[in-house]
């Protein structure tokens, strides 16, 4: 990337870390198939096993609970299914209750039929209605099968943190399975699958500085497991067939190790930069709307709107001035339509929002440069507003 540009879209993807690049390069020099029993195969298997331990440590899990996938979307499609095994016995999940502000890979319901999925309400800050969750689970017909609850740890657009531990207590009370999307939270806050009370976690490599095309479904145990999304040769202990991608997995593992090291210190630095950005934005535009500002959020994420300026227009303006930001999530910002997150929060989804997400390479200079660009864009907005008012 050109040094004249500033990259402020870490929630879409983080730049590849040098440690991840080195791990991938070393993996590419290995020739064996990880399922082969000869020395060459065992060398690749050892590399994958090391990455499995690294990713498990990031999630506070045992390495045996990590199933490598092509990304978090595949992990979601794997675990969001009515068909489970409890040991060797079939286990039926009858219904999915999914948060209305979830990432699309969760919101689509995975392998559940559409009429077996209910969306859970959130308040104006984007936080789950726990009373509503409890009411849904109380009314759930257990004779048809268990309930599954899918909830984010952190929202990809607003950065708002969900009360997962409290949701977990409600789920446990009603015997429900809990799936937690930890994709955006990983590397930005401590994660412990047991402390959260989750049965399954989703992780993505490229959100933490690893390569694209790698992710993981992290399981709290090995007794209750979803039926494979991809059957075949039985790789990943039969949970995800297909020869593993050693280079991507090695890069994922290295990124996970980096993310865990110095996590608390990095979070403090990111929070300082995020607060600096938000203070600067508020000073320059008093009418700026910062979504979910009254709730706990990721330390690296700001999601804001400027009245009278559509998010898509603002994003293009920032890009032309050399600042990479998102108009909502990267997975949906290229599509026509309002943000489902803002809709669920009861906000003016037509206006949209600009998401600024920072990371390990972000500096004070980058924030200053962003605010300089913001000055230009806001000045033009205010001028257009005055001209429009004069015509009325």
Dump pLDDT digits (tens) for 306-344.
999 999 999 999 999 999 999 865 455 455 568 999 999
Where do runs of H (alpha helix) occur along the chain? 18-28, 39-59, 72-79, 104-107, 130-139, 164-173, 193-196, 246-260, 263-284, 311-320, 340-345, 364-391
The reply to whether 234 and 96 lie within a common domain is: yes
Structural domain contains residue 294:
yes
Domain boundary among 260, 295, 328: 260
Report the chain's mean pLDDT, rounded to a whole number: 94
Is residue 54 situated within a structural domain? yes
- Both 47 and 142 in one domain: the answer is yes
CATH code of the domain covering residue 288: 3.90.1150.10
Are the C-beta atoms of residues 44 and 32 closer than 8 Å to each other? yes
Distance CA 49, CA 52 (A): 5
- Quote the CA–CA distance of 330 and 205 in Å, as a whole number: 16
Structural domain count of the chain:
2
Chunked mean pLDDT (size 10), the chain, 392 residues: 84 98 98 96 98 98 97 98 95 97 96 97 97 97 95 97 98 98 97 98 98 98 95 95 97 98 95 98 96 97 95 95 83 64 90 95 97 96 82 63
Residues 6 or more apart from 57 whose CB is under 8 A from it? 256, 257, 260
Crossing angle (nearest 10°) for helices 39-59 and 18-28:
160
Q: Are 203 and 183 in contact (CB under 8 A)?
A: yes
Do 274 and 240 have their domain in common? no
Q: Tell me which residue range forms the domain holding 275.
A: 6-15+263-391
Domain boundary among 260, 280, 299: 260
Span 139-160, pLDDT tens digits: 999 999 999 999 999 999 999 9
Whether 219 is catalytic:
no
Is there a single domain that holds both residue 248 and residue 319? no
List the CATH number of the domain containing 179.
Answer: 3.40.640.10
What pLDDT sits at residue 338?
81
Domain end: 260, 290, 321, which one?
Answer: 260
Is the domain of 126 the same as that of 104? yes
Between CA 371 and CA 385 the distance in angstroms is 20
| 1, part of any domain | no
Residue of 105, 108, 219, 331 marked active site: 331
């Amino acid at each position: 990337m050109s040094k004249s540009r500033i990259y402020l879209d870490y929630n879409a993807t983080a730049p590849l870390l040098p440690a991840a690049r080195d791990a991938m390069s070393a993996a590419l020099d290995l020739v064996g198939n990880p399922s082969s029993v000869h020395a060459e195969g065992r060398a690749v298997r050892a590399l994958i096993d090391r990455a499995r331990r690294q990713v498990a440590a990031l999630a506070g899990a045992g390495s045996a609970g990590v199933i490598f996938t092509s990304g978090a979307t595949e992990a979601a499609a794997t675990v969001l299914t009515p068909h489970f095994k409890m040991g060797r016995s079939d286990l039926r999940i009858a219904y999915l209750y999914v948060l209305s502000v979830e990432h699309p890979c969760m919101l689509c319901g995975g392998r559940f039929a559409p009429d077996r999925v209910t969306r859970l309400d959130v308040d104006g800050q984007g936080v789950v209605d726990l009373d509503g969750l409890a009411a849904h689970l109380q009314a759930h017909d257990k004779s048809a099968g268990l309930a599954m609850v899918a909830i984010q740890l952190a929202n990809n657009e607003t950065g708002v943190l969900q009360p997962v531990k409290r949701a977990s207590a409600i789920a446990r009370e009603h015997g429900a399975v809990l799936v937690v999307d930890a994709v955006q939270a990983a590397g930005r806050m401590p994660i412990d699958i047991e402390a959260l009370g989750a049965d399954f976690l989703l992780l993505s490599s490229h959100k933490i500085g690893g390569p694209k095309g790698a992710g993981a479904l992290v399981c709290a145990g090995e007794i209750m497991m979803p039926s494979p999304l991809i059957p075949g040769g039985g790789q990943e202990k039969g949970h995800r067939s297909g020869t593993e991608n050693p280079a991507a997995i090695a890069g994922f593992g290295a990124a996970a190790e980096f993310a865990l090291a110095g996590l608390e210190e990095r979070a403090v630095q990111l929070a300082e930069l995020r607060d600096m950005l938000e203070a600067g934005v508020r000073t320059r535009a008093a009418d700026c709307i910062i979504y979910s500002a009254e709730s706990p959020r990721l330390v690296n994420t700001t999601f804001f709107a400027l009245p009278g300026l559509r998010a898509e227009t603002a994003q293009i303006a920032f890009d032309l001035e050399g600042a990479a930001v998102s108009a909502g999530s990267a997975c949906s910002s290229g599509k026509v339509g309002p943000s489902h997150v803002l809709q669920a929060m009861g906000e003016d989804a037509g206006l949209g929002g600009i998401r600024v997400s920072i990371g390990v390479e972000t500096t004070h200079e980058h924030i200053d440069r962003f605010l300089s660009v913001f000055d230009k864009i806001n000045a033009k907005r205010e001028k257009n507003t005055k001209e429009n008012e004069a015509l009325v």
